[in-house]
Structure 1
Amino acid sequence: MKKSGIIEQIENGKMSIKESFRLLNNNNNLALKQHRVNSNSKKKIQEIKAKLDRLVGLDKLKRLVNELEAFVKIQQKRQENQLATEPLVMHMIFKGNPGTGKTTIARIFGKLFKELGLLSEGHLKEVERADLVGEYIGHTAQKTKDAIEDALGGILFIDEAYSLARGGVRDFGKESIDALVKGMEDNRDDLVIILAGYPQEMENFLNTNPGLSSRFPIKVHFEDYTLDELIEIAELMLEEREYELSQAAKSRLYKILAEKRRKAGPEKGNARTVRNLIERAIRIQATRVVEKEKIFRKDLMKIEPEDFED
């Protein structure tokens, strides 16, 4: 209630002075609470962006985050000033090889959008074809609807989304796509859908369904990491676990990654491959160190070349 309204009620004998002080105090507390929520959101946004900045590479994604944050804030300001606003449609296409950071970025986006007020929960619901497509008529629509329900308030992340269109005209994948489109329309204010997959397959998928492509205004290509970036990722992974690479081990890991990429292509030489190699090296290091008669702190931390198998 406005202060002038309170004074008017006191003058008309409808409210005591004691009651007016209580109401004013409640209003002041509410204003302070709202200020704390806003300040808390700003702090969390900075923490989320700092976490993003610590990720290796992904420069285009980091710029996109700044653009999205600025766009949302300006649209909110325009709305406050009764100006025309652009629709906040945040559905996205992520194209990239495995291990290029797609799921990690989707999870960060969920948290960011929650703090920006675009999503109520900010969680990530990760699904693939088997979670959406059923085995008989009507089953698919219900499975897709259930996935959307679970994702409401957050992000529905569909990996290898192109597989929904692989089975031809009689396949139930098309039914799932139709249910997704309906879910996007029905829940436009509290749901973001991200379709993800290999670059070429996603491109072919979107070319066969131009109507679907237009519903996803944000399209992001995830570049493969360079070998130097992969070594940096490895060092960060080890640092989090309180391990470190010796110089010889770093050279060994570089050669292994280069060989994997030469033989199998970038999809076998990204961050996921690095994580598998690091976790394996830690286990092998444990079997090497446990045999020592006396174990020092540096022995527990150091990863050596012999800890990386061929």
Structure 2
Amino acid sequence: MGKASRQINVVLRTPEPQPLTEPEPQTGGKAVPAQGPFADVMKELEQMVGLDNVKELVYEIYALLQIGQYRADAGLASTQQVYHMVFKGNPGTGKTTVARIVAKLFQTMGLLQKGHLIEVERADLVGEYIGHTALKTRELIKKAMGGILFIDEAYSLARGGEKDFGKEAIDTLVKAMEDYKNQFVLILAGYSEEMDFFLATNPGLPSRFPIMIEFPDYAVDQLVQIAECMVKERDYTLLPDSVMKLRQMVSAEKNRYPSTFSNARFVRNLMERSVRQQAVRLLGQYTSSSPGRHELMAIRPEDMRADKRVGI
């Protein structure tokens, strides 16, 4: 028994051979490459505050495409899916940014040849006379080939009723989705209720968009975090009192205008206005000398001035 025990100890202490390549890191139970194009895409996505459901979907798409490549290499049938999407949510919730990231993902995974994003709205699609709308829409679809056509406030295409030229744009888009379903991706975006109404106007529309994503409003803490990231990128800092005032201003705006609150867009405008006010304040304070590094970076509470409709 003693000899057997000592022999086992010797075996356990023998160093195991090291793998030639390091295993892929695990993120929340998900295998993510440590390097490469997809790792860059995920890093860009992970830097966005919140959006857990969006990040989950992007990983699902990556996993499907990656396994599809493995299946093709093994001589198995690779499932073709349609990736047209609907993004529903208020302004400033990250819809356009996520669309750009999805375009990069599809390009890196070989689903789209170019991976560019063509961002349009109603005025870019709808013409002034019969036949003009179809021509304009087809031109934009042509430009989007190999990439993503992103239509913001897409519900506006259905606002004019049956005789409106917006219906012509919808019909042209529907036909292109069938004719070129593997050559470009169409993403429609807009307010949740309006997009639901828009999809209900044409019984064939919902089934053509297998992926529908809700972009929820950001919580106050998340918006404060977004603001801090914004100023940090520009070498500014928010003092503790400034963070407190920011929280008050965001809460006031969010509570007063819940249906039109612009989320991260509101925060970005507020921070840009604060930077301008800081510059004005510093020029007035330092007339005969230049401010120090700390002063040049610090955003003080008095620099933070909200829109006139917010009483803070």
Superposition TM-score, scaled by structure 1 size? 0.84
Q: Are positions 1:308 and 2:304 aligned together?
A: yes
The match for 2:46 is: 53
Native 8 Å contact 1:257 1:269 kept in 2: no
* Distance of 1:97 and 1:78 partners within structure 2: 39
Structure 1 residue 266: Cα displacement: 5.4
* Distance of 1:149 and 1:135 partners within structure 2: 20
Q: Are positions 1:276 and 2:269 aligned together?
A: yes
* Distance of 1:210 and 1:79 partners within structure 2: 35
Q: How do 1:11-50 and structure 2 match up within 5 A?
A: 43-50=36-43
Q: Are positions 1:180 and 2:173 aligned together?
A: yes
Q: 1:208 aligns with which of 197, 201, 208?
A: 201
Q: How do 1:45-194 and structure 2 match up within 5 A?
A: 45-194=38-187
Q: How do 1:198-277 and structure 2 match up within 5 A?
A: 198-265=191-258, 267-277=260-270
| 1:12-44 deviations in Å (ceiling 9; x for gaps) | xxxxxxxxxxxxxxxxxxxxxxxxxxxx99612
Say if 1:146 and 1:41 are closer, same or farther in 2 by CA, change over 3 A.
farther
Could you say what secondary structure the match of 1:211 adopts?
Answer: coil
Give 5+ residue unaligned stretches, structure 1: 1-39
Native 8 Å contact 2:90 2:262 kept in 1: no
* Distance of 1:239 and 1:266 partners within structure 2: 29
Say if 1:260 and 1:101 are closer, same or farther in 2 by CA, change over 3 A.
same
Could you say what secondary structure the match of 1:237 adopts?
Answer: helix
The match for 2:309 is: none
Say which structure is richer in helix: 1
**When the two structures are aligned, how many residues end up with a matched partner?**
271
Native 8 Å contact 1:89 1:217 kept in 2: yes
AA in 1 matched with 2:106? F
CA RMSD of aligned residues (A): 1.6
Structure 1 residue 172: Cα displacement: 1.0
Say if 1:163 and 1:260 are closer, same or farther in 2 by CA, change over 3 A.
same
Native 8 Å contact 1:224 1:266 kept in 2: no
Structure 1 residue 287: Cα displacement: 0.6
| 1:141-195 deviations in Å (ceiling 9; x for gaps) | 0000011111111110000111111111111111111111122222222201000
AA in 2 matched with 1:299? E
AA in 2 matched with 1:282? V
Could you say what secondary structure the match of 1:268 adopts?
Answer: coil
Q: 2:285 aligns with which of 285, 292, 306?
A: 292
AA in 1 matched with 2:57? L
* Distance of 1:112 and 1:283 partners within structure 2: 36
Give 5+ residue unaligned stretches, structure 2: 1-32, 307-312
* Distance of 2:90 and 2:36 partners within structure 1: 33
| 1:122-142 deviations in Å (ceiling 9; x for gaps) | 111000111001111110000
